[in-house]
Amino acid sequence: MSNNHNWSNPRQIVRPRSTGRVPVLLCVLLAGLCSLAVYRWGYEHWWPIRAKPTFTATAYVVDPEKDADDLYPEASTANRAASVPLVSTCADPQRAREAVEALAHQHIAEREKEWQSGIEQRLAATRRSTDEMRQIHQLAVAECEAFERQLHETAAEKPAAAADTPHRKTTINPQWLELDRQSAELIARRDQLLDTRTHLHPLVAE
């Protein structure tokens, strides 16, 4: 009895053994990409890894109330013109220029307000002084007119008194001397006021 068995040899499928390198490489690659992204974000937004370039814009404003020749007698014209420097620094040159222009406009507006306030104060003081001098002038004119009326009245009464006493000895009247003295004082005071206060009047100043 022959036992002819057809033994079938099963096929052996040989598969490569996984060494685990592919997942490791993928993890390393992903970690590198994440690190690069974090580095890039920190470089641009947060971390001062490298100093970014900055731009400085400078504006020079001339103060109109300052006399450059008196303040800077030994300086040149260019140096005298740069009386008030305004500086702005920014990473963007356009923003730096805009910022310094805004500072210049603000400075000019503040100086205009100060100048206007000073002019108004001077005008108010001039008006007060003018009113005071006008009152003094009116009072002096009234005193002078009263003195002239009194002088005319005294002169009108003098011939009648002389007619009543034709042989009366002529004497100096103390009242006339006092009137003459007051008249001289009033005239001197008027002349002094005209000399010292006339140039303060707005019409004369213009």
The rounded distance, in Å, linking the Cα atoms of 186 and 143 is 8
pLDDT, tens digit, 9 for 90 and up, residues 177-196: 888 888 888 888 888 887 77
pLDDT, tens digit, 9 for 90 and up, residues 72-89: 455 444 444 446 787 888
- pTM of the predicted protein model: 0.37
The full 3-state SS of 33-101, as one line of letters, equals HHHHHHHHHHHHHHCCCCCCCCEEEEEEECCCCCCHHHHCCCCCHHHHHCCEEEEEEECCHHHHHHHHH
φ, ψ of residue 94 in degrees (nearest 5) = -65, -40
The arithmetic mean of pLDDT across residues 90-114, rounded, is: 85
Q: Angle 93-164/174-197 helices, nearest 10 degrees? A: 160
Map out the domains of the chain as residue ranges. 128-161+174-205
- pLDDT band, very low/low/confident/very high, at 39 (cuts 50, 70, 90): confident
